[in-house]
Amino acid sequence: MDSLTGRDQLTDDRRRAVEAQLERLLTNPFFSHSRRFPAFLRYVVEKTLTGDSEQLKERTLGIEIFGKGADYDPATDPIVRVTAAEIRKRIALYYQEPGHEQELRISLPLGNYVPQFHLPDAEPAEPSTTTSNGNETVSTPRLSSSIAWKVATGVVFLVFLVVAVFLIWRQHQRAAFTWFWEPILGSGDPALLCVADQPDYTSISLRDADNPSHQVLLQDTVVAVVIDDLSTITKIAGVLQTAGKHYTVRGESETALMDLRNGPSVIVGAFDNAWTLRLLQPLRFHFANDSEMTRFSIVDTTQPGKVVWTVDRKLQLATNNYRDYAIVARFVDNTTGKPTLIAAGIGRGGTITAGEFVTSPDLLRAVEKQQPAHKENLEVVLSTKIINGEPGTPTIEAVHFW
């Protein structure tokens, strides 16, 4: 495959071919569902085409593409490296799809941010030898170098086939994870993690430093995080931290509308978090309950009067064996205008299941496959069997895109 790496090697026709190939990549679902990845790839390709590739340094990219300040330190914020790594994976997935084999290739080599462009392979002509046999000339075909190479590497190919399939599978899983989290992680604003809290305690028990077995009950107003939500909160915080996303944690009682308008929000908890109930109310799937607060449900507004996903509080308390339900919603809220992610269950098991879903590439991939074109917002209803208070494997009950 011929490589076109320098500006001098790119004629006007080849430059236009690279630009056309760039647009093919960016309109493919591996890129079109994201804002950050197309912006990055377009920037580095255009800089290379105009002969400005010397500007493609990590710190410069952080400032120019991601809006980092002049004090941006790539050593503490790896967003450029993380984005480049994901783009390499998505480019590889694109060229592995049928029909793209003979397209001009754009690649982003490891270790730098200057893209390379490669012309498609041309099929070599089969050479032959001619021998003389008396008055008769006989043409003897020789094995082409392409076929000889394939024969020589056949065994190696078989050995690595399983590894390649596994790597492709992993790339698809990671792509699904990025697809789901991109609206939250791709925003330039810090994220808000809004968690359920319980402000109704009037006292707190503290231990004596000299005698830890001695406890003293003091009058106080305590705002406590709901312990059952910690599993989900920890998983989500881990995603934000790993991606280098700046975020703050606020209790539901301390969160105002202006806080939600300042950037993307991740909201955990259902009936103990008013923001979950408010923001889900206009959507197709939302939470409901009876007037006695003994039956808690998820309702589908397209089927009024029909309740399928319900938890009976009396059964829950009496047996601790029941089926719990959750909603995971990722959408741009009409009131705040910001990306919002809600992970909330009717009971503790449902919220734990929601946390497992948003961090599971397998489950996210199953939902991504159902996404219609040009519909970015989604709601998912989940269920899980609770046995002795512990949730089982999540099941996807319903998916809605809009």
Per-residue pLDDT of 27-84, as tens digits, reads 998 898 888 899 999 999 999 999 888 889 999 999 999 889 888 888 888 899 989 9
Strand order in the sheet with 295-300: 285-289, 295-300, 309-312
Give residue 175's pLDDT band: very low, low, confident or very high (50, 70, 90): confident
What pLDDT shows up at residue 225? Answer: 54
Over pLDDT 90: what percentage of the chain?
49
28: left (phi over 0), alpha (psi -120 to 50) or beta: beta
Confidence band for 150, pLDDT divided at 50, 70 and 90: low
Per-residue model confidence as pLDDT tens digits over 348-369: 899 999 999 999 999 999 999 9
Contact 344/326 with Cβ under 8 angstroms? yes
Cα distance between residue 96 and residue 200, in whole Å: 57
With 0-12 CB in 10 A as exposed, 13-18 as middle and 19+ as buried, what is 394?
buried
Please give the average per-residue pLDDT across 206-233, as a whole number: 70
- pLDDT at site 341: 98
Question: Could you identify the residue written with the tokens 């599971």?
Answer: 360
Round the average pLDDT of the chain to a whole number and report it: 83
Cα–Cα distance between 71 and 69 in angstroms, integer?
5
pLDDT tops 90 at residue 196? no
Confidence band of 176 (pLDDT split at 50, 70, 90):
confident
Alpha-helical segments (H) within 97-144: none
**Does residue 316 or residue 167 have the better pLDDT?**
316
**Nearest one of 31, 87, 82, 39 to 64, comparing CA atoms:** 39
How far, in Å, CA of 209 to CA of 401, rounded? 55
Q: How far apart are CA 66 and CA 304, in angstroms?
A: 45
pLDDT higher at 88 or 131: 88
Does the pTM of the predicted model rise above 0.85?
no
